[in-house]
Amino acid sequence: MFNQATSALILVDYQTRLLPSIHGGEAAVKAALMLAQAAALMEVPVIGTEQNPEGLGPNDERIRNCCNETVLKYSFNGVEDGLVASIQKINSSINQTVLAGCETHVCLMQTALGLKAKGFDVAVVAEACGSRSPNDKQLAIERMRDQGITILGIEMIIFEWLTTLNHPQFKNILQLIKNREVKN
């Protein structure tokens, strides 16, 4: 189980020049924003990453505004550019990371695998991820699952963080969930 006290939410590369080419990019951003809002209510730190912002632009402003910090990176694996140090600077007891981002089969997957190799429990929220090709996204999800990374839905991780309806933020989180657009 993922615990709010030992988790960080990592939002990978929701960048302005990349998003228009992402299949379902706006839906992935909306899902990430919901995750970030829930994380903020439960005091789970949110860290963004930006891959080569000179070329791909900054993160979408809505995403950037949700992040406690943004790690600039040039490696596809954010661990190579200081992501672990940023996590530990925020809270040295964090040992679980929940990831969402773009592109699923490149930076998101390599960062997830890198964090796992560093000893973190890693989960990926599939509906908040995107790639240009849906097939590439699916293959990356399958590979990460095969490597022991937990694949979750938005509500799954939110309720894991909550653990009980007695949580002080339960009513606020419930309202967030009720306002969510769900596609069947």
Residue 100 to residue 29: CA distance in whole angstroms: 9
Is 135 inside a domain boundary? yes
So what's the pLDDT on residue 160? Answer: 97
pLDDT along the chain (184 residues), means of 10: 97 96 96 97 98 95 97 98 97 98 98 98 98 98 98 97 96 93 61
Residues of the domain holding 71 = 4-178
DSSP-assigned letters across all residues of 65-131: TT-SEEEEESSSSGGGGTHHHHHHHH-TT--EEEEEEB-IIIIIHHHHHHHHHTT-EEEEEGGG-B-
Is 89 inside a domain boundary? yes
Residue 97 to residue 121: CA distance in whole angstroms: 6
- CATH number of the domain encompassing residue 168: 3.40.50.850
CA-to-CA dists, residue 23 to 33, 83, 132, 134, 140, angstroms: 17, 26, 5, 7, 15
Residue 117 to residue 25: CA distance in whole angstroms: 28
So what's the pLDDT on residue 183? Answer: 60
So what's the pLDDT on residue 145? Answer: 98
Is 173 inside a domain boundary? yes
Chain centre to alpha carbon of residue 44: 12
Is 52 inside a domain boundary? yes
pTM attached to this predicted model: 0.96
Is 183 inside a domain boundary? no
Is 34 inside a domain boundary? yes
Domains: count for the chain: 1
Is 184 inside a domain boundary? no
- Position 14: which residue type? Y
Is 80 inside a domain boundary? yes
